[in-house]
A = this chain, B = another copy of it.
């Protein structure tokens, strides 16, 4: 099989894809067409995994009662976080995230199974967290595949992982990596929402480079 050629036109579009991928909080409620989520998960499974261990576990959450329990965990954790900021901006931002949980047609919880025997533990002895990182790589891949179909992803991390595991009735040995809201975004923008609302700005790459 001949290796594909990625030309300058593709690379420019790929850069656009990186630049226009957003952490989406405002979704339209239209459902995703049948088969789309499976296709996105298949793309995610092309991500690198340590020792080819494929430790990703995808939980599609459709049951309204389970979604409500996840939402409850968000509200509880977020109340704690807000108390420590004590300003208006954090409160406004929190509302956006709740809106994401309420409106996104698709909820996908993604876990890492560190105990998997697949891959025979290669590359995970000194850094067992490599299994978790493989799952993050899968989420990153899914995120880009989704954006290329004009589908948005929002990663909710203000959650108690134990509460999410209980709400979804999955193995307590699994580690929650990301709880994703997926659906069509209300709009597309190149600027991260947190930059737009003035929470934080992007810094130049040079600020983060050290030479040794």
Contacts and interface: CB of A to CB of B under 8 A. Distances in A.
A99 to B, nearest CB: 16
A158 B125 contact: yes
Contacts of A53: 200
Q: Which of A6, A124, A145, A203 has the most chain B CB atoms inside 10 A of its CB? A: A6
Q: Chain A contact residues (Cβ within 8 angstroms of B): what range?
A: 35 or more
Contacts of A124: 157
A190 B112 CA distance: 25
A171 B50 CA distance: 26
Interface in A115-147: 118-120, 122-127, 129-130, 132-133, 136-137, 139-141, 143-145, 147
A157 B145 contact: no
A59 B211 CA distance: 6
Contact of A14 (B60, B84, B148): B148
Interface string A153-178: 00101111100000011100000111
Contact of A54 (B17, B18, B203): B203
A87 to B, nearest CB: 10
Contacts of A91: none
Contact of A149 (B11, B20, B120, B123): B11
7 nearest A-B residue pairs (beta carbon): A3-B188, A52-B200, A136-B136, A140-B140, A18-B46, A4-B16, A52-B194
Q: Which of A23, A127, A144 has the most chain B CB atoms inside 10 A of its CB? A: A127
Given A11-B148, A21-B48, A45-B202, A62 B141 contact: no
Contacts of A130: 157
A8 B17 CA distance: 14
A129 B53 CA distance: 21
